Amino acid sequence: MDLTVIPGSRIVEVARLAFSTPDVDLLCFGESDQPSPLAARDAAIRALSEGHTRYPDVRGVPALRQALSDYLTQLHAKPVAEARIQVTASGMTALAVAMAAVLRPGHRVLIPSPAWPNIASAAALRGAVVEPIDLDVQPDGSFRLDLDRLDMMMDGARALVVNSPGNPTGWTATEAELRAIRDIAQRHGAWLISDEVYSRLVYDGRDAAPSMLDIAEPDDRIIVCNSFSKTWMMTGWRLGWLVVPAATSELIVDLVETLHSGVAPFIQLAGVAAIADTETMQQFRAHCAVGRDLATQTLTGLSGIRYQPPAGAFYAFLQVDGLRDSLDLAKQLVTRHGVAVAPGVAFGSAGEGWLRVCFAQSSGLMERAMQRLSDGIRAEMAR
């Protein structure tokens, strides 16, 4: 059959093995074991009871667009007008819409790597040529984007996709780095797509990571993508949004109309309630910080492991000395040791030799899973 083919997910490959294996701790998905906010669940039930089940405004219901405008304006250094906000059916859909708007067959798009694989796959579906720019690994196991190399590679590129805080690495750009990235993209006439789904999950006392919304002007060629999945523990709700240049908002609406025709209004009203529930969001960040500490206690000093606690997101990304096949190791950890983690190769060739652990889990699960992981790594690397 003549169908478009994209690489299968190595994360899903590990997860399917875990689902068929008894007594496995799942740390392979980018998902917490915590429930969605009660306020959001109650709002969805109420909206369903009130009959909010008809076709919505494709832009998003006015209440959610205004709530997002207020939320982002309060959170970031520059105001975000409601007219620039487009609601989407998930953060992944936000990225797909952005790429549908920007990319055409043959366009070059740069993506810092290791990176969540769906970003490159979405670009490839538009016929774009994906070029990874490998993040530099520092001696302590943290990551850095070489801005001089980025500048050279941007020559002739159509777009750059930046995910900060990043999945899987936890790399979080400083405001100065974001300004430099924006300037490089502008100098080369390229679009910048900023994936900021982990923006609230930072561990240095700030309310949010530095954002393109802190520095971008309304007409810059910058599209910011975000989601309710991570910050508000609403992965299964499939609710996201875009902040687009002011002059493009109607064009983006037309794309959304064609691609998915809007988001169920009862889900959007749950999003309004989630934004208003600031306490739950703060509690979740504290929950992730505990998981981060537990991962760090296990991994720091573990022989053959290079690891630095991430500045943002909710993943421990660890390099295993001498590891050549992270997918095979991840499968062995499932079948022999009862713990499922994501293989680094799932995030591109730059991730080979690494493993990703989602630490946004309850303390009991984390303690047991991290013990299984450390024991398993020791045993498998000794074979």
pLDDT of 175 strictly over 80: yes
Which strand (E) or helix (H) includes residue 44? helix 38-49
pTM: 0.96
What's the CATH code, domain 38-276? Answer: 3.40.640.10
Architecture of domain 10-35+279-376: Alpha-Beta Complex (3.90)
Q: What is the dihedral of CA 241, 32, 300, 331, to 10 degrees?
A: -100
- Percent of the residues in the chain that have a pLDDT greater than 70, as a whole number: 99
* Among 263, 221, 335, 300, residue whose Cα is nearest residue 64: 263
Place of tokens 């802190």: 214
User: Cis bond leading into 56, ω under 30°?
Assistant: no
Which tens digit of pLDDT belongs to each residue from 338-378?
A: 999 999 999 999 999 999 999 999 999 999 999 999 999 99
pLDDT of 149 strictly over 80: yes
Average per-residue pLDDT for the chain: 97
Q: How far is the C-alpha of 257 from the C-alpha of 363, rounded, in Å?
A: 43
φ/ψ (deg, to 5) at 161: -110, 120
Which tens digit of pLDDT belongs to each residue from 112-133?
A: 999 999 999 999 999 999 999 9
What single DSSP character describes residue 3? -
Which tens digit of pLDDT belongs to each residue from 38-81?
A: 999 999 999 999 999 999 999 999 999 999 999 999 999 999 99
Return the pLDDT at 7: 85
CATH 3.40.640.10 in the chain is located at 38-276
Place of tokens 């979080």: 172
User: Cis bond leading into 168, ω under 30°?
Assistant: yes
- Percent of the residues in the chain that have a pLDDT greater than 90, as a whole number: 96
Asked if residue 170 lies in contact with residue 138, where contact means CB atoms within 8 angstroms, the answer is: no
Asked if residue 124 lies in contact with residue 6, where contact means CB atoms within 8 angstroms, the answer is: yes
Which tens digit of pLDDT belongs to each residue from 192-249?
A: 999 999 999 999 999 999 999 999 999 999 999 999 999 999 999 999 999 999 999 9
Return the pLDDT at 382: 84
pLDDT of 178 strictly over 60: yes
φ/ψ (deg, to 5) at 35: -75, 160
Model confidence at 4, pLDDT cuts 50, 70, 90, reads: confident
CATH 3.90.1150.10 in the chain is located at 10-35+279-376
Return the pLDDT at 2: 67
Model confidence at 1, pLDDT cuts 50, 70, 90, reads: low
